[in-house]
Amino acid sequence: MAKAKASKEAKAAAKAARKEASRARRKQLWQAFQMQRKEDKLLLPLMIGSILLLTGLAVLIGLLTGSLVFVLPLGIVLGVLIAFIIFGRRVQKTVFTKADGQAGAAAWALDNMRGQWRVKQAVSGTTHLDAVHRVIGKPGVILVGEGSPHRVKTLLAQEKKKIARVVGDTPIYDVIVGNDEGQVPLKKLERHLSKLPNNINKARIDSLESRLAALGGKGPGAGMPKGPMPAGAKMRNIQRTARRR
């Protein structure tokens, strides 16, 4: 009896936790929508337009085929789905636009990538907030640099030489985040990494992660922000924090 009671209490607690998490997600979604709506005047017209367009097409198809009662709900659901996709894409675009060029933006983008990526932020860096981040995935090892290009190139070369002694014949790629020629824009970083060829399997990824973790790699850049620097932040203060660390 005691076990059954404990089991019921655990299930009730889990159910309550799921409800609370769902409520929190809805609240965050609503807040994101309100913020985006204020900044993006096209958001509502595009979302409403997608719903009306799909609903209209469903009505037309339903009238022509005599199956309006079945096609109309499908059109409405598809319209709402497209509206949510538009919302997500435009929010993402706004976030990347605001983050672009700020210290820590690449680290933030890497941490928010979809898929089985192993990200280690700021394995090397400078007190000017230039940094190299290490990513391990199916392509191999990817070094992602952000900051002043001439300083980042030096950091990438040093880090590449250091890890080459550990990873053997595993491919090592290097990327500089930026908008100049030969660089990868922040908003295209995830897509760029995803297009790299698959060269190693999960077992080798695990092995590489363990071996590279032994290298440490906490350089001056370890004091950089964990995400894009807020607008108006004092560069000098952050640099001072980096030096103390």
The tally of CA atoms less than 13 A away on the side-chain side of residue 120 is: 21
User: Do residues 76 and 55 make contact, with C-beta atoms less than 8 angstroms apart?
Assistant: yes
Residues 94 and 109 in one domain: no
Residues 143 and 209 in one domain: yes
Q: List, for residues 73-128, the tens digit of each pLDDT value.
A: 999 999 999 999 999 888 878 877 777 778 888 888 888 888 889 999 999 998 88
Residues 59 and 124 in one domain: no
Helix (H), strand (E), coil (C) string for 86-128:
HHHHHHHHHHHHHHCCCCCHHHHHHHCCCCCCEEEEEEEECCC
**Minimal CA–CA distance to 224: which of 209, 244, 206, 208?**
244
Domain of 186 in residue numbering reads as 105-244
Q: Report the distance separating Cα 83 and Cα 100, nearest Å.
A: 26
Q: List, for residues 33-62, the tens digit of each pLDDT value.
A: 888 888 888 999 999 999 999 999 999 999
pLDDT given at position 73: 93
Cα Rg, the chain, nearest whole Å? 24
Residues 229 and 109 in one domain: yes
CA distances to 49, 56, 60, 62, 125 from 69, in Å: 22, 13, 12, 7, 62
Residues 74 and 125 in one domain: no
Q: How many domains does the chain have?
A: 2
72 pLDDT more than 50: yes
Of 47, 75, 99, the residue that ends a domain is 99
Residues 118 and 234 in one domain: yes
Average pLDDT over residues 193-202: 93
Residues 9 and 37 in one domain: yes
CA distances to 114, 138, 241 from 172, in Å: 21, 11, 31
Of 99, 119, 147, the residue that ends a domain is 99
Residues 42 and 79 in one domain: yes
228 band by pLDDT with thresholds 50, 70 and 90? low
Q: List, for residues 127-180, the tens digit of each pLDDT value.
A: 888 999 999 999 999 999 999 999 999 999 999 999 998 998 999 999 999 988
Residues 6 and 123 in one domain: no
Residues 111 and 151 in one domain: yes
pLDDT given at position 238: 34
21 band by pLDDT with thresholds 50, 70 and 90? confident
Q: Buried b / exposed e across 135-165, counting CB within 10 Å, b at 16+?
A: bbbbbbbbbbbbbeeeebebbbeebbeebee
pLDDT given at position 46: 93
Of 99, 129, 162, the residue that ends a domain is 99
pTM of the model: 0.64
Residues 93 and 137 in one domain: no
User: Do residues 131 and 224 make contact, with C-beta atoms less than 8 angstroms apart?
Assistant: yes
Residues 33 and 131 in one domain: no
